[in-house]
Amino acid sequence: MANKKRHWLWNLILLITLAACLLAFAVHYKNWTKIELDSIKMVSGIYYKEIKFIEVDSVSMVERIPDMERLNGFSALSKGNGLYREFKDSLTDKKVHVFVDNFEHQKIRIVYQDSLKLFFNYKDSIETVELLSLFKRKLDGSK
């Protein structure tokens, strides 16, 4: 049989596809946080949330998040990210951001702007506790 050479365009398309898949995995495999003087930024894939410390009303540690309906996002194994709906009735339509790297560990529950909620944790529970103590120091400093 004669050897057929593959066109260079197909090789390029294959490489671009593999690079895009690797990039998508890299941005989704963990929650990325950036702590600044006045705010914290959380990113996981396409989900982004910035919370200013002066907008935070309360911070606590919870064992599990309440039952919610996932509007968009994903859950895989012990990880879940996205936008969820806490409950829906005629008066309210509360949306909750979830950035959870491990559902088995405790999560930080942040209430900000009077009634909005966010649940967050790292794979490492020690990092989660350190972030909780940072939030509590920032809350004590602002009062």
pLDDT of residue 8: 84
What's the pLDDT band for 1 if we cut at 50, 70, 90? low
What digits encode the pLDDT tens for the residues 49-58? Answer: 898 988 888 8
Q: What is the pLDDT of residues 11-27, one digit of tens each?
A: 899 999 999 988 887 77
Amino acid at 85: R
At residue 143, the pLDDT reads: 56
| Tokens found for residue 12 | 């390029």
User: Could you read off the pLDDT of 51-91 as tens digits, one per residue?
Assistant: 898 888 889 999 988 888 888 887 777 888 888 887 766 56
Q: Convert 76-133 into a string of H (helix), E (strand) and C (coil).
A: ECCEEEEEEEEEECCCCEEEEEEEECCCCCCEEEEEECCCEEEEEECCCHHHHHHHHH
Whole-number Å distance between alpha carbons of 89 and 85:
11
* 30-142 maps to CATH 1.10.10: no
Q: What is the pTM of this model?
A: 0.75
Q: CB–CB of 110/117 below 8 Å?
A: yes
Could you tell me how many residues make up the chain?
A: 143
Residue type, 59: V
Write the pLDDT tens digit of every residue in 90-119.
566 778 888 888 888 899 999 988 888 899
